[in-house]
Amino acid sequence: MSVRSRRSTTPTLRRAGDSDKALAARSAHVRRPRLAGPKRTLPDRRSTRPEAGSRPDDTVCGVPVRAKRKQYDVEVERSGRATADGDSPLDLDDAWTPEHLVLFALARCTLSALDHHARRASIRVSAGATAGGAVSERADGSWGFVDVECRLDVDLDPVPDDDHLSDLLRSTERGCFVGASLDPEPTYHWRVNGADR
């Protein structure tokens, strides 16, 4: 069986003065013809490049969003005196139990949230608050508050309409971080410019 040679069949012309050896050497370097086959088409990279200022729909921004965080610290000395963030010493009478302090924090925090949201709406505020709660054994066997409420008596100037007033009170309740941290959630009672809400 004969084997077909892969060498080019294109004849090599003999130059004047060529020896058989030189002719054979030049024949070995003759470029072979390209074999027929499917033509490769390179992808057009320009067609997949996003336009300036655009972003593909399937991309997600990888920068994490961090929530604001503020640290609070309280120190209680052996004498019973307390300091807030290392300052403003407070000598508490023994009548101030930890439960009273939680309720005080709820009332104070709610008033602060009301003042914040009212100022954003250009409303002047004069307000006071009372807070109360009951401690008992809970369903899981632990002891803690089982009922907490906060009552606020508020004067607003000017008085917003009903819709804006409802938004203001809801924002105040959501904005009280102490109330949002309690379980069960506090029940709020509002009296605004002499009218119960």
Give a yes or no: residue 103 inside a domain.
Answer: yes
Report whether pLDDT(183) > 80.
Answer: yes
Task: Count other Cβ atoms within 10 Å, centred on residue 119.
Answer: 11
Give a yes or no: residue 122 inside a domain.
Answer: yes
3-state DSSP: the chain helix, strand, coil percent, rounded to 5?
A: 30, 25, 45
CA separation for the pair 64, 67 (Å, rounded): 10
Token look-up 């610290």 returns 73
Give a yes or no: residue 7 inside a domain.
Answer: no
Distances (CA, A) of 10 to 29, 33, 124, 146, 169: 11, 9, 101, 101, 96
Of 137, 136, 139, 119, the residue nearest 127 (C-alpha): 119
Instruction: Note the pLDDT tens digit of each residue in 9-34.
Output: 555 555 555 566 665 665 655 555 55
Report whether pLDDT(113) > 80.
Answer: yes
- Which residues does 164 contact at the CB level (< 8 Å), separation at least 6? 121
In CATH, what number is assigned to the domain containing residue 191?
Answer: 3.30.300.20
Task: Count other Cβ atoms within 10 Å, centred on residue 186.
Answer: 23
Give a yes or no: residue 8 inside a domain.
Answer: no
- Rounded to an integer, the average pLDDT of 165-175 is 97
Number of domains in the chain: 1
- DSSP three-state, residue 139: coil
CA separation for the pair 152, 168 (Å, rounded): 13
How much is the mean pLDDT over the chain? 83
For residue 134, what are the domain limits?
Answer: 97-196
CA separation for the pair 56, 50 (Å, rounded): 7
Query: Which tokens go with 185?
Result: 């959630």
- The overall pTM is greater than 0.85: no
Of 184, 180, 163, 161, the residue nearest 110 (C-alpha): 180
Task: Count other Cβ atoms within 10 Å, centred on residue 92.
Answer: 13
Provide the pLDDT confidence category of residue 65 given band limits of 50, 70 and 90: confident
Give a yes or no: residue 162 inside a domain.
Answer: yes
Provide the pLDDT confidence category of residue 5 given band limits of 50, 70 and 90: very low
Give a yes or no: residue 155 inside a domain.
Answer: yes
Instruction: Yes or no: say if 90 and 84 are a contact pair by the CB < 8 Å rule.
Output: yes
Give a yes or no: residue 23 inside a domain.
Answer: no
Of 65, 146, 76, 74, the residue nearest 105 (C-alpha): 74
- DSSP three-state, residue 76: strand
Give a yes or no: residue 16 inside a domain.
Answer: no
